[in-house]
Amino acid sequence: MIRRYILSLLFTFLLPCVCIAQLSEIRQLQEQLKHPKDSLDYLRKLNKIGLLIHLKNADSSFYYGIQANGLADRLNDPKEKSSALSNIATGLLLKGLYSQALQYFGKAYVVCKANDFKPEMAGGLMNQSIAYSFIGDSIKVIQFAIRANHLTRAYLMHDSVASMLLANYVELNSKLAKDSVTWYLSNAEKVANRFKDKRAMVFIGQIKATRLINNNQPQQALPLIRYNLAVTRANNWDYHEMEALNILGSYYLAINKTDSALAAYKIIYNKAKANNYVYWQIDILKAISNCYKLKNDKAGEYNTAQLLIKALEQDNNANSSFLGDYIKYNQAQDELKKLSLSEMLNHKKIIWLVAACIAGSMVIILLIWFYIKVNAQAAKLTELNATITGQNQALKESDIFKSRLLSMLAHDFRSPLNSTIGMVQLLKDHETMDVDEAAGLYKLIETDINEVLLTFDNILQWTRKQLTGYTMEPVKVNLRESITEAFGFFHEQANAGQITLVNEVDARIAPFTDLEIIRFINRNLLHNAIKYSPAGGRITTVSAVTKDEIMIKIKDEGSGLSDRLLKELFTGKVSDTNDSTQGAGLALNICAEFIQKLGGRIWAGNGPAKGAEFSYTIPLTAASGPVV
């Protein structure tokens, strides 16, 4: 009976918690399978049922294992896969397919080792040791048991599974010395007590009782047997109760109480038959037959033999059916392997194809990137060329502007200087002039020169600022005062021709604009008006304000302007052969350029009666304060 007893230890390592084959628990789990929480919950219940049902029906344990194995692969759950493989191995072991069982126990161990599941690894090694005990390979039994023991002592002495592993090591390693047996069982008890594992304590007690009986100390074993029976019956642990009764039968045989042993075995047989524990039925019938043989009860021995034959036939038929199913399963597994291999090859082809597509895409992306980069460089070069072109244009305009500034300076100072030279010449030619008249001329010359110097200094300061290009620096300019100031610049010419200024510009008009440009324009327009006005004539200046601009008009009483001159006046290309007319055309052209920089306009025309009219505007938007 020792192999049957060892088998009861086999499955304590298949799940994280110790589970015993109880029909009520199996039925409860089977009912729960109808309404699982999720796929993982369903998988765990499959494995648990496969574990619990192994001694009731090895076929069912195998089939539950197959289902769980397939589902574990789909869910990629290594822990549940190792449990499923162990359940398959258990079914094969109980059916006598020991080599195949070892193969699946080995697969389960490989999965556990790959994922570093230490408790399951130790259990897997112990399961293989137990499987080798069925084959009768005592060397392998001890080798695997020692490996499991080393793993247990190295990593699992503080784990609840250690109690069963240590106890099982004692059961499997027959070469242990007595003091080693005592040490292992003592430590197994300590772990079981620490975790309050009553089932482990029952198992350890059964090992002790069995060893006492085998060592011809049956009386010392009896208290342990009675304690185990009391605990298993109190907790309705049918399977453990059958194990305890089995040891009790061995005890009675040891003290030559065959009838008592027979009674204990019959209780086991009835429980095994009621719970459909086929494996138990065969071995117990053999034990009962042995009891009848010891009693020399031929009838009982015969009847038991008949029951044994029937049980063996039933088991043989089941094994034949199971073997056929196992062959089909293996064939299906081979087909799956072929399909997996084919799928793997197709997968590799797909990977190569995807890699080629990715490589092609990368090439296309690189080409697009180079194209974008080249375009960006081209755009940058275009932008740089445009910038250079703009800078060249700005330099050209700056040169033109500087040339205009020089022309402006020459034009502005030629007239007052000519006037001053004229007065000097007058003094030179009229030596008989009395002292008072000469003093008056000296005073006029001094005043004119001071005004010229002041104007020159103002224009010079403004010109320095504009040498790098025009920049408007607006200030508040009273246009009426600016016109009066400009007229005063030419007072000698005006006095000589008895020309008067009628300044009707609104004194409240004071926009923010460029003072020097306004002065230059006013000086040039008034100078032209004085130059072309008849003796005793009047020059009239008026103003007007619209919603968009301020207009200043300067009118004289001269002969007016020809149509050809009106067209050429602000172009700088006056075709008149008169030098003074050409000079006036150049100055007016500069005035036109300057007024445009202020955002204004300038034009000329003839009055309704006689004389010329010059007008210019300043935009209201240029003002940064109230205009009026």
Task: Say yes or no to pLDDT of 584 above 60.
Answer: no
pLDDT tens per residue across span 372-430 = 988 888 888 888 888 888 777 766 766 666 666 566 556 556 656 666 676 676 666 66
Instruction: Find tokens 């109980």 and name the residue.
Output: 94
CA distance 106 to 186: 30
Q: Would you state the pLDDT for residue 213?
A: 94
Beta bridge partners of 554: 541, 614
CA distance 602 to 595: 7
Task: Say yes or no to pLDDT of 627 above 70.
Answer: no
Listed as own residue / partner, the contacts of 138-146 with beta carbons closer than 8 Å and 24 or more positions apart are 138/174, 141/172, 141/173, 142/172, 142/173, 142/174, 142/175, 145/169, 145/172, 145/173, 146/173
- Nearest Cα to 584, choosing from 567, 595, 570, 604? 570
Beta bridge partners of 552: 543, 616
Contact 530, 486 (CB under 8 A): no
Which pLDDT band, with edges at 50, 70 and 90, does 14 fall under? very low
CA 78-84-90 angle, 5° bins: 140
CA distance 272 to 264: 12
Domains observed in the chain: 197-310 (1.25.40.10), 472-622 (3.30.565.10)
Mean pLDDT of the chain: 80
Task: Say yes or no to pLDDT of 13 above 50.
Answer: no
Interval 139-153 mean pLDDT: 89
Find the range with the poorest average confidence among 224-228, 329-333, 570-574: 329-333
Q: Would you state the pLDDT for residue 385?
A: 84
Interval 109-114 mean pLDDT: 93
Interval 15-32 mean pLDDT: 55
pLDDT tens per residue across span 454-502 = 456 455 645 655 556 667 788 999 999 999 999 988 888 888 889 999 9
Task: Say yes or no to pLDDT of 291 above 50.
Answer: yes
DSSP, collapsed to helix, strand or coil, labels residue 57 as: coil
Q: Would you state the pLDDT for residue 332?
A: 63
Beta bridge partners of 171: none
Interval 312-331 mean pLDDT: 66
* 432 C-beta neighbours (distance < 10 Å), count: 6
Q: Would you state the pLDDT for residue 324?
A: 62
DSSP state of 185: H
Contact 523, 614 (CB under 8 A): no
Q: Would you state the pLDDT for residue 397?
A: 66
pLDDT tens per residue across span 157-178 = 888 888 888 888 888 888 889 8
pLDDT tens per residue across span 66-98 = 888 888 888 899 999 999 998 888 888 877 788
- Nearest Cα to 8, choosing from 279, 269, 282, 275? 279
Instruction: Find tokens 């298949």 and name the residue.
Output: 14
pLDDT tens per residue across span 115-129 = 999 888 988 898 998
Backbone angles phi, psi at 578, to 5 degrees: -70, 125
Joined tokens for residue 257 = 């109480």
CA distance 569 to 586: 8
Task: Say yes or no to pLDDT of 16 above 50.
Answer: no
Find the range with the poorest average confidence among 23-37, 509-523, 594-608: 23-37
